Structure 1
Amino acid sequence: MRLAILGCGTVGSEVVRLLHEQSADLAARIGAPLEIAGIAVRRLGRDRGDLPVDPELFTTDAVGLIKRDDVDVVVEVVGGIEPARSWLVDALRAGKSVVTANKALLAEDGAALHDAAADGRADLYYEASVAGAIPLLRPLRESLHGDRITRVTGIVNGTTNFILSAMDATGAGFAEALEEATELGYAEADPTADVEGFDAAAKAAILASLAFHTRVGAADVHREGITEVTAADVASAQAMGCTIKLLCIAARGVDAAGRESVSVRVHPAMIPRSHPLASVGDAYNAVFVEADAAGPLMFYGRGAGGAATASAVLGDIVAVGRNRLAGVRAPSESAYADLAVRPMGEALTRYHVSLDVADKPGVLAAVAGVFARHDVSIATVRQAPAGTEPAGRGVDAVLVIVTHVAPDAALAATVEELRGLDAVRSIASVLRVEGGE
C-alpha cells in the first residue's frame, strides 16, 4: 500500500515517524505493508532533523506525485483551502483514497470532496480534522448511525481552553493568559484563528454535518471569540458556581415555521461546574454528545499537537488500507436529512447580564419591564458589590441578571433597549449561559 504524503510539518513529520516506528504492526493490522511513495513539501532544503526517510522521496511537485500510478492513498496534512482542494479532488476522482486533517477545507467545501469521492468510488477519511487523537468522527459517522443525535456540545480548541482555564485558576486577564499560552507553545504567533473562534467554527460545521446528516459549512456557523471575556466575567461566573468555556453547540430543533432544523454556533458561555465539560482544563478537548437511545456520551483527550493528530491520521490510514485490500468502500456521506440551519436569532439560550445602574427606587422595576416587553423571563437577580468604572466614575450598584431560555434575538433586543435606559449607566458584560436547564 503506497502513500503520497502532502506536507511534512509538525503533523506530517510525526506521521512519517510513526509509519517508520510502527511499520510491522501497521502491516499486520492492514494485511499489507505500507510504503511511502513520496512526500510533497514546499522547500527541499529545509532541515528536518533525523526524520527516518530517504531524502530522495521529497519533492515539490505535489500534482505529479498524486498522479503517479503507484500511489494508492493520498495523505494531506498541509492545511488551507487551495491548492489542497484541487489536489484532493483530483486524487479522489482518480480513485485514490484520501486521508486529511484539513478542517478548514472540510468546513469550507466538504461537499466538493464528498462528491469527488463518490465519483471516483474512493474513501475519504478525516478523523484528525476535529479533536486530534480523540476518536470522535467515526463514532458519529458509524457507531451512532442507528441513533438520533439531538445535541453536540464541545470544547474543540485547546488554545482557548488553556486561556480560559488559566483565567479561572489565577484571576488573570485575557491578555496575560494569552501571553502565557504563547510562551508555552499553546498559541500561535498570530492567535486570531483560535481566539476569534474560526478554528472552533470549522470543527463545529464538521460535527454538525455528521451528527445531523446535513451539509453544514463554516458560513452557517454563528461565531464569537473570547477576546472580550474579562477577569470580572470569570469572577462573576465563579460566584454563580460556573466557569466560562468556548463552546461549539450544534442542536436539533424547530425553526420559526415549526420545521425541523439545526442550530450551529460557537461562542463563550458560562456552564455549571457540575457539567462534565466544566472540568476539562489545560489544552484538552472534550465533546458531549446527546442521543435518543444512547443517552449522554463524553469524548475526551488531547485535541491538538503533532503526535496526537498523527495518531488519528494513522488510524484512518489503517482503515483505508483494510478497505482497499477487501475491495470495499467506507460508508459514504450521509446528508439525506438536508435540514435547514436556523439563524442565530432563533437559537434558544440563556443570558447573564451585568448592569451598572443608579442606586435609586424604581430602577429594578424599570429593568424588569424591559425584559418583560421582549417576553424574556428572569430567572435570578442579585446585586453585586459596587465597583469603579475604568474612567474613574463611581458605580452606584451592579445588577446581575440571569434569564430563562429564550430566543437569542429576543435576548439581544432586550440588551439593546437596556443600553438606552436612563437608569443604566453601562452594560458591563453579556454572556450566554448553557447547561443549566
Structure 2
Amino acid sequence: MEDRKPLRVGIAGLGVVGAGVVGLLQRNAAQIAARAGRPIEVVAVAARDRARDRGVDLTKVTWAETAQDLTQRNDVDVFVELIGGSEGPAREAVEAALARGLPVVTANKALLAHHGADLARMAEARGVTLAFEAAVAGGIPVIKVLREGLAANRFSRVYGILNGTCNYILTKMRQEGRDFADVLADAQKLGYAEADPTFDVDGIDAAHKLSILAAVAFGTDVAFDKVHVEGIRHVSAVDIAFAEELGYRIKLLGIAALTEAGLEQRVHPCMVPVDSAIASVEDVYNAVVAEGDAVGTSMMVGRGAGAGPTASAVVADLIDLARGFSVPTFSVPVAAKVALPSVAIDKHRGAYYVRLMVLDQPGVIADIAGALRDEKVSMEAMIQRGRNPGEIVPVVLTTHETDEAAMRRALTRIDGVPAITEPPRVIRIMEQL
C-alpha cells in the first residue's frame, strides 16, 4: 500500500529561492501531492532574519536556530540547503545531514563543484540521496535528462550557455552597440547582476556548473580545478560588431568534450555561427546541448535562475524523494567512476578571432603576417578599414584551425610589434555546433 505520510522538509536559507520553494509547495500542494504520491510539507526552517516578510506563510513551521540544528531534528525527512557558498554553514550542514543518513537537496553549485566528489561518497556510504537539479541551469531539467533520459548514451560533448547574467550583457551589447561596463551597470540595477559581479562575469559561476555537468555526463569526479576559465570583461562592442560582420555572435560557453587525450573542460567567450541554434538563445536564458552516440544532438533552453525556475527544480527533486526514486549522485556509483586525464587548454585545437589596435604605418601588416607564418598559423581572413596614417586603427583577423599553443606563441610575437598599442584581443571560434 502506498505511503501517504507527508514528506517532511526542513529548509535552510529563506532567500529568494528558499521563499520560492515554500511558496511553490503551498501554491501547488494538491498537484504536487498527486504527482509525488503523498503530500510534501515544509515543517521546519532556518534563516538569519525571522522577522522579514518573505511573502509566504510561515506560521505553521518551526524555526531552528541554525542549519546544523535543522539536520538533527527527528521531524525532518529531507534537508534542503539553500544557503549558498562552498564553505561554512552550507558545507557543514550538508555534511551533518549526510552523516546522519538524511537525504539532501541543494541548489549550491559552488559546494558541489568544490566538494561534490566527497559528498557523493558520503551519500552513497549512508545509502541516501544527494540531489541537485537546481544547481545547474535553474528550470532546465538538465541533470535529470543527462542522468536518466539519455542514460543509454555515450556522450562526446556537453556545452552551453550556463550564466544568464553574461548572456544578458552580451545580448544588450549587441542589440544596443554599448560597451560592457555600461550594460553591466544596467544589469545590476535590474537585479540580473550582483553588486560584486565577479563570479558571473569572470566565468566562475559557469565553471562551477560545467564541472558538475561533466561529472554527470562522463561518469567521473567533479574537477572544478581542471576547468580553464575566462570571462567576458575583455569583450567590447567593437568585437561584437566585427563578429556580426563575420557571421558570428559572441556567447560565453561552458564546454566539456571527451577527446582522445582525455576530458577538456573550458569556459570562455566563443564566436558561434549566427545561424546556429545556440546563437538565438538571448537575454537571461540558458541553454545546454548534449551530444550522445545514440540520440545525436539534444538542446534544452530555459531560464537558468530566479525564484520560480530554481524552486521548480528543487521541488522536482523532492517529488523524486517522496516517490522513493533515487539514482547515483553523478550518474554512476562511486566504484564505477572513470578517471579521465585532464586536457590542458594549450592542447586545444580550433580557429581564432584576433583584434589588434594598430598604429597605421608601413610594414605593420607584414610583421603580423610574419609572426603567424613563423608559428605555422594559417590566416583565413583580415579586415582593415581604409588607411589612416599615424592613427590607431583596429585590424581583425581570423585563422584556420590551429593549435592553441602555436596561437599563443604567435600572439606573444605580435604583442611585441612596436605598432601594436594594446594587448591582442582573442576569441575562440566554435564552428562545429
**TM-score, scaled to structure 1:** 0.91
Give the match for residue 3 of structure 2: none
Of 65, 76, 81, the match for 1:60: 65
Q: Which residue of 2 aligns with 1:210?
A: 216
- Secondary structure of the equivalent of 2:411? helix
Q: Structure 1 residue 189 and structure 2 residue 195: aligned?
A: yes
Aligned mates of 1:425, 1:188 — CA distance in 2: 33
Equivalent position SS for 1:341: coil
CA gap of 1:398–1:93, structure 2 versus 1, over 3 A, is: same
Residue type at the aligned position of 2:404: D
Alpha-carbon distance, 1:202 to partner: 0.4
In structure 2, the CA distance between the partners of 1:55 and 1:385, relative to structure 1 (3 Å rule), is farther
Is the CA contact 1:354–1:427 (under 8 Å) kept in the aligned structure 2? no
Q: Unaligned regions of 5+ residues in structure 1, if any?
A: 256-260
Hey, what's the Cα distance between the residues in 2 that align with 1:360 and 1:48?
Answer: 63
Moved more, 57-66 or 358-367: 358-367
Between 94-103 and 328-337, the greater mean CA deviation after superposition: 328-337
| Structure 2 counterpart of 1:404 | 400
Paired position in structure 2 for 1:289: 290
Matched, 1:106 2:112: yes
C-alpha change, 1:175 and 1:422, in structure 2 (3 Å) is closer
Please state how far the C-alpha of 1:85 moved relative to its aligned partner.
1.5
Q: Give unpaired runs (5+ residues) of structure 2.
A: 1-6
1:386–1:124 distance in 2 versus 1, CA, 3 Å: farther
> Of the candidates 314, 327, 337, which is equivalent to residue 330 of structure 1?
327
Instruction: Output the amino acid matched with 1:301.
Output: G
**How far apart are residue 92 of structure 1 and its match?**
1.8
Tell me the amino acid that sits aligned with residue 369 of structure 1.
G
What does the per-residue CA deviation read over 1:64-109, in whole Å, with 9 as the maximum and x for residues that have no partner?
Answer: 2211222211111111122211211221232211111000000011
Closer/same/farther in 2, CA of residues 331 and 339 from structure 1, 3 Å limit: same
1:246-279 per-position Cα deviation (integer Å, ceiling 9, x unaligned): 1111111133xxxxx1111111121110111111
Which shifted more, 141-150 or 155-164?
141-150
**Equivalences for residues 22-421 of structure 1 within 5 A:** 22-49=28-55, 51-54=56-59, 57-81=62-86, 82-255=88-261, 261-323=262-324, 329-333=326-330, 334=332, 336-357=337-358, 363-385=364-386, 394-395=391-392, 398-421=394-417
Separation in 2, partners of 1:283, 1:185: 11
Q: Do the aligned residues in 2 keep the contact of 1:43 with 1:60 (CA within 8 Å)?
A: no
The 3-state SS of whatever aligns with 1:277 is helix
Paired residue secondary structure (1:200): helix
Distance in 2, matches of 1:173 and 1:185, equals 19
Write the letter of the residue equivalent to 2:288: V
> Could you list the per-position Cα deviations for residues 269-314 of structure 1 after superposition, in whole angstroms to 9, with x for gaps in the alignment?
2111011111111111111222222111110011110111000111
Distance in 1 separating the partners of 2:356 and 2:211? 34
Contact 1:39 1:57 in 2 (8 A): yes
Contact 1:196–1:227 at 8 Å: present in 2 too?
yes
Q: Is the 8 A contact 1:93 1:119 kept in 2?
A: no
Q: Equivalents in 1 of 2:432, 2:76: separation in Å?
A: 52
Structure 1 residues 375 and 27: CA distance shift in structure 2, 3 A = same
> Following the alignment from structure 2 to structure 1, what is the Cα–Cα distance between the partners of residues 202 and 363?
39
Q: Given that residues 79 and 97 in structure 2 are in contact (C-alpha distance below 8 angstroms), is that contact kept between their aligned partners in structure 1? A: yes
Secondary structure (helix, strand or coil) at the match of 2:277 reads coil
Q: In 2, distance between residues paired with 1:312 and 1:70? A: 23
TM superposition shift of 1:424: 4.2
Aligned equivalents of 1:398 and 1:47: distance in 2? 53
Moved over 3 A (4+): 356-366, 384-388, 422-428
Q: Report the Cα distance in structure 2 between the residues aligned to 1:138 and 1:387, rounded to whole angstroms.
A: 56
Q: Is the 8 A contact 2:10 2:76 kept in 1?
A: yes
The amino acid of 2:59's aligned partner reads D
The answer to whether structure 1 residue 434 and structure 2 residue 405 are counterparts is no
Q: Secondary structure at the match of 1:338?
A: coil
User: What is the alpha-carbon root mean square deviation over aligned residues?
Assistant: 2.0
Aligned residues: 422
Q: Is the 8 Å Cα contact of residues 134 and 310 (structure 2) preserved in structure 1? A: yes
- Gap change, CA 1:10 and 1:360, over 3 Å in 2: closer
Shift in CA distance, 366/428, structure 1 to aligned 2, threshold 3 Å? closer
Counterpart of 1:313, as a letter, is: V
Distance 2:339 2:215 in 1: 9
Aligned counterparts of 1:251 and 1:97: Cα–Cα separation in 2: 31
Q: 1:385 to 1:112 in 2, by over 3 A?
A: farther
Against the structure 1 CA distance between its residues 436 and 399, is the aligned structure 2 distance closer, same or farther, given a 3 Å change threshold? Answer: farther
What residue number does 1:258 align with? Answer: none
Whole-Å separation in 2 of the counterparts to 1:57 and 1:206: 33
Q: C-alpha displacement at 1:338, in angstroms?
A: 1.4
